[in-house]
Amino acid sequence: MDDRREVHLSAGTVRYRDTGRGPVAVFVHGLGVDGSLWRKVVPGLETSFRCVVPDWPLGSHTIAMQPEADMTPRGVASLIVEFLEALDLRDVTLVANDTGGALAQLVVTQHPERVGRLVLTPCDALENFLPTKFRFLQWIARVPGGFFL
């Protein structure tokens, strides 16, 4: 059974999973993966946290964003903020990895009002965003399923 939910945002529809109870943790994955990246982490946390795990539009999402959607890093960071607003999530712990770490840093510096804590696992930052050998992926990530090509 598919336990994913959907929220309709200005850029398009984002699927997500929402499990557990307690303070809210929202997960941000990087390019080329989806929320299943966190599949081994969430079960250990959902007894103490409400875990919200979206499939961000970073290349492995299954629902296309609107053609005019801003898929730049700042645009995706704004989409994360809009997601938090749409679900009325406040004082969240934003947990991020890889390119998601750079996006989360944009969220907390530009729209800190809904984020109470930031957890960064190995991630992109500063001049290492995107790492040079992966910069071409920013174009592939705009196409749903683009990484299967």
| Secondary structure of residue 134 in the 3-state scheme | helix
- Between 71 and 146, the higher pLDDT residue: 71
Neighbours of 69 (CB within 10 A): 17
Cβ(85)–Cβ(110) below 8 Å: no
The structure's pTM equals: 0.84
pLDDT tens-place string over residues 7-55: 999 999 999 999 999 999 999 999 888 999 999 999 999 999 999 999 9
At residue 2 the predicted structure's pLDDT band, cuts being 50, 70 and 90, is low
pLDDT tens-place string over residues 113-131: 999 999 998 776 556 566 5
Q: What is the DSSP string of 70-115?
A: --SHHHHHHHHHHHHHHTT--SEEEEEEEHHHHHHHHHHHH-GGGE
The pLDDT of residue 32 is 84
Q: How far is CA 61 from CA 12, 46, 91, in A?
A: 11, 23, 26
The pLDDT of residue 1 is 40
The pLDDT of residue 62 is 85
Structure tokens at 19: 């499990």
